[in-house]
Amino acid sequence: MKTFYIETFGCQMNTHDSEKVIGTLVEKGYRQVDKVADAELVLYNTCSIRDKAEQKVFHRLDQFKREGKGKIFGVLGCVAQQEGERIFERAPHVSLVAGSASYTKLPEMLIQLEAGNRRVTGLSLHTTETFDTPYTSRDNPHRAYITIIEGCDKACAYCVVPFTRGPERSRTSESVLREARSLAELGYTEVQLLGQNVNSYRDPSPAGWDFAKLLDETGKIDGLRRIRFTTSHPRDFGKSIVDAIDENETLCNHVHLPVQSGSDAVLNRMQRSYTRSDYLRRVEWMRKAQRDIAMTTDIIVGFPGETEAEFNETLRLIDEVEYDAMFIFKYSKRPNTPALQYEDHIPEEEKTRRFTLLQEQQRSIQIRRNARYVGKTEQVHVEGYNPATSQWIGRTSQHKTLNFADAQLPAPAGAETLTGRYLDVLVTRAGPNSLAGQSVF
Ligand code: 5AD
Ligand code: SF4
């Protein structure tokens, strides 16, 4: 029996790619092991979105080398695509370098590796294919990812993704729905539709569905109780998505809509192709919806040339929108991206100052927003148990963490667990990052 070990970094797309890579390998007769030492094939699925990703990858590859002689090493994902054959020069023990746009060729690449070829690459970005597998390895028996669109056709000035994941290509609605139905039959109740930009989903089959239609139809599948999606690009985010959420309770009332900056001048330099007011119009659709839609976002501080006044516009925007949660990133230079050539890069200390200011302001917004739930009953999907706090961990439709005590099952007992169940929980306390409560019967 051939064995493999895989380590994964990055976004949900990467995590899900690894699930499909594992599925492909298992189908080809490999067995997954959880220690490098026990594996014949060692795979590293990498992310290059920020920071010194390349250095970290080479450092980890060196560690792998020390951990195992005579093994076959492979680098997958965004750093593989970005660095390409340079990886063979800097880490000669590596035999496989493949970006996500080449994973459909993984079975062929495995055959070449097994035949003793020590320089196998999958680096072409010219593809119309999506990575569909007959078998996907999923650890969680309740929640599952489904890819609906791969790649990205946008050209945000800071972003490596268009260079690492290839052009946009959508799966047919038929194959997405088939996968969703089969997951429901297997007992999954929550699915998350994935893509770099789900809003530009376009069914390649004659049905020609857009994303809102796909969402709506997925939401009607028997057995599925929660449908999530990520990630959205404001430019392509239509009102029909808000309408679909309003009309279909199984679609979660949470939208992650990365704004990146509250300043038109910065948005323009970022090549985001929307203005602050375009963005706020979308926020208004959500605020006017029947359902209480939670909104979360991503913000980059210290983009090249960002002035104090421009940064202040971001502070004002977040006061106006009142997000439920926010991911803040300090701008980081990425290879090949247009912003690398921009002037006026912001010093690191200044990025940190802006990061902290934004974080503090958002913290008080979250305290205020979360306080609204105290005294209300929320339905949670139970994710697990935290022995450190002796509490169950639940997630609301709005994607808020709600930790709770359960009088009937205060802790897991043998095979008895609440994980995977849907329970009503009375919220008794609220903090900036989570809610706490007691299940009700
Ligand atoms: N520097 C900092 N943050 C970045 N992001 C993407 N590229 C960069 C970069 N070069 C952030 C964006 C995006 C999130 C996934 O990562 O906010 O929405
Ligand atoms: Fe990282 Fe972006 Fe690649 Fe995801 S798509 S793994 S976030 S670089």
Provide the CATH number for the domain around residue 99: 3.40.50.12160
Q: Does residue 166 line the site of ligand 1, with CB under 6 A?
A: no
| Residue 365 and residue 378 in one domain | no
| Residue 406 and residue 327 in one domain | no
Q: Which residues does the chain have with pLDDT short of 70?
A: 1
Ligand nearest to the CA of residue 234, numbered in listed order: 1
| Residue 201 and residue 337 in one domain | yes
**Is 137 a member of any domain?**
no
| Residue 111 and residue 253 in one domain | no
| Residue 193 and residue 337 in one domain | yes
**Domain end (from 319, 339, 369):** 369
Which residues form the domain of 75?
2-122
Q: Which residues pair with 251 in a beta bridge?
A: 227
**Is 138 a member of any domain?**
no
Contacts of residues 271-278 at CB distance under 8 Å and 24 or more positions apart, as own/partner, are: 271/154, 271/155, 271/156, 271/157, 271/338, 272/156, 272/234, 272/235, 273/154, 273/235, 274/234, 274/235, 276/313, 276/317, 278/234, 278/235
- Tell me the C-alpha distance between 114 and 440, whole Å: 56
**What CATH number has the domain bearing residue 390?**
2.40.50.140
Instruction: Look at ligand 1, atom 18, and give the residue with the nearest C-alpha.
Output: 298
Backbone angles phi, psi at 142, to 5 degrees: -115, -35
Ligand nearest to the CA of residue 79, numbered in listed order: 2
| Residue 160 and residue 297 in one domain | yes
Distance, CA 159 to ligand 1 centroid (Å)?
A: 7
pTM of the model: 0.96
pLDDT score recorded for residue 1: 66
| Residue 412 and residue 365 in one domain | no
3-state secondary structure of 35: coil
Distance, CA 100 to ligand 2 centroid (Å)?
A: 10
Please give the full DSSP string across 209-250, using - where no structure is assigned. Answer: -BHHHHHHHHHTSTT--EEEEE---GGG--HHHHHHHHH-TT
pLDDT score recorded for residue 70: 86
**Is 336 a member of any domain?**
yes
The residue to mutate among 13, 75, 103, having the most atoms of ligand 2 within 8 angstroms of its beta carbon, is 13
Cα–Cα distances in Å, from 1 out to 20, 30, 50, 152?
20, 6, 38, 38
Question: What is the domain count for the chain?
Answer: 3
Distance, CA 396 to ligand 1 centroid (Å)?
A: 26
Backbone angles phi, psi at 24, to 5 degrees: -65, -45
| Residue 109 and residue 238 in one domain | no
**What CATH number has the domain bearing residue 364?**
3.80.30.20
pLDDT score recorded for residue 212: 97
pLDDT score recorded for residue 51: 83
**Is 245 a member of any domain?**
yes
| Residue 341 and residue 396 in one domain | no
- The pLDDT tens digits of the residues spanning 84-94 come to 999 999 999 99
